Chains A and B, each alone.
Chain A
Amino acid sequence: MVKNGTRLQSQVDDTQVIVVKTADSLDDLRCGGTPMVALDAEKTPAEIDPKFAEGNVMGKRYVDEAGAEVLVTKAGQGTLSVGESPLSLKEAKPLPASD
């Protein structure tokens, strides 16, 4: 299981995420259809799978049904998924500013 705080990068585009809430499901985290790898790992560039090309937004969080959560730190065109199941955008319930 990846550690909370782990940074991962896409092999098909510029997407980068950070793991906010880990779960075993994230072992198969993909972007654009291809598994994501550690930030300092070697990338094997791949083509984006058109079935997973919805894109993602910087600063947004994406979750799966197991409660795993990643935060996009660099946006890209690939869809984030666990296996073949796309992650969903987490509902923002922002707090009022307190700082």
Chain B
Amino acid sequence: MSISLLLEMAVSGNPDRLAVVSGDVRLTTQELSDLADGGAGVVDASGCEHVVYVGAGGAMLPLLLFSSARAGRAFTPINYRLSGEGIQALIERLPSPLVIVDARYRDMVGSAGAKVMDSDEFLAAARTAEPAAEFPDPDAVGVVLFTSGTTSAPKAVELSHNNLTSYITGTVEFAAAEPDDAALICVPPYHIAGVSAALSNLYAGRKMVYLASFDADEWVRLVGDEAVTTATVVPTMLDRIVKVLEAGGQKLPSLRNLAYGGSKVGLPLVRKALELLPDVGFVNAYGLTETSSTIAVLTPDDHRAAHGSPDEATARRLGSVGQPVAGIEVQIRDEAGSILGPGETGELFVRGEQVSGRYTGIGSVLDGEGWFPTRDIAMLDDEGYLFLGGRSDDTIIRGGENIAPAELEDVLIEHPHVHEVAVVGADDPEWGQAIVAVVVPVAGINPDPDELREHVRSALRGSRTPDRVVFRDELPTNATGKVLRREIVASLNDATAAPGNA
């Protein structure tokens, strides 16, 4: 099934519903579809083989997503925050691309791509172009997304139309939204969450309100002004929103559902959000670019059952990512590839129609039975709730022993003086790697490093005590909140020469 069919069905179901709100742009489903037809005509006329977008998103994201589909070309939104060199290097990896770029980023694109058009130019042309409408092969690639490259050079993930539509039809009930439902989309357009938001909300029948440049005060204002009923945020956004709400006391009466994901959110922040917004349903969503977004969900009921539960096993689940979604199978395997049972930690493997596991140039990394190795350390409890233990690439090897940073981070984050923490392995002549806890203290507090080390020692085994604790004002993260561990490690290794300062 092509993603274009999702838009067709949405138009068929309710052509006059307001579908997109982005700054001054307001489009009904029919208008979006007509623009996508014209957009397809523009793409087709360009003679290009691929469509690239460099920009902050807003209405351009759904428009280009569907224009490309209707022109039978794959689509790639690129991270506009990269350097010009970085952007051009990614564009150059794609076949004869038509590059649509927001005016303010035009210089970053340089002469990369086969043809370049301003976003406004494209929009104007789409309004008047001869429509084109093709029906791409469902197995054809619909979207190519570059991974964030936090642990290695960016890989080009190929998501077929089937991967994307399987995810949508498997997890979203068509047109099931209430007439007034509105989703606030503030995740980056080049992230899988941005792509899936344009598809899932359209299919469900929600008005999509775009906030292209995140600002917590603006987010809170928009939720009120557009009567937003559901929103998805990444951890850094949730942190800022919580600060705004704590200061201002807003209750966000229209909001019924708040999803968070993209990277791990510390438990104290989740609890704080639950207390500040008691009438909102919280959703923790876990997924990867390679799995067309969400593969496991901790539902609002799961949150309520876990929060403050006297039963330890139930309460623990607040720190899980919930149960796999329909159509997804999961397995935990040890290093030898044997399948592990509940309570045992190993690598998470997943399988399902929405799972791509295909990269340009590398091909498919699925095993013989269609299982995708996520490279995430994980564990399933007795009832199938999935607990993540961090990336296997982040494992610290200290004196021949493997230490998962997540284990220490989960303990340290609970200390009242710790606001954020990342545990990494710094080069060490004696141990190979030393465990360094990089802590962002709670505002106004100067934590005692030894107290923090003792806090970990009393919770975990001695060999897992951090060798050093260093304090920072903030952790380096990317736009979706992923901590840039390589940067932290590099800065620690560089500083090793300087005595008494790490």
Contact = CB atoms under 8 A, between A and B. Distances in A.
A34 B448 CA distance: 77
B465 interface: no
Interface string A48-60: 0000000000111
B300 A96 contact: yes
Contacts of B232: 97-99
A16 to B, nearest CB: 9
Given A5-B1, A60-B174, A98 B285 contact: yes
B15 interface: no
B397 interface: no
A93 to B, nearest CB: 7
Interface of A is mostly: loop
Contacts of B297: 95-96, 98
Nearest to A16: B5
Interface in A57-76: 58-61, 71, 73-74
| Interface magnitude class on chain B | 35 or more
A96 B169 contact: no
A88 interface: no
A4 B353 contact: yes
A7 B293 CA distance: 25
Most B CB within 10 A of own CB, among A7, A20, A74, A96: A96
Interface residues of A, number: 20
A26 B162 CA distance: 19
Nearest to B285: A98
B1 A58 contact: no
Contacts of A60: 174
Nearest to B204: A97
Interface of B is mostly: mixed
B36 to A, nearest CB: 17
A58 B283 contact: no
Interface of B: 1, 5, 8-9, 12-13, 138-139, 162, 166, 169-176, 183, 193, 196-197, 199-201, 204, 206, 230, 232, 257, 259, 261, 281, 283, 285, 293-294, 297, 299-300, 325-326, 353
A59 B326 contact: no
A94 interface: yes
B200 A97 contact: yes
A71 B283 CA distance: 26
A97 B183 contact: yes
Nearest to B325: A95
A71 B173 CA distance: 11
B174 A59 contact: yes
B325 A59 contact: no
A92 interface: yes
Contacts of B12: 58, 74
Contact of A99 (B5, B259, B300, B353): B259
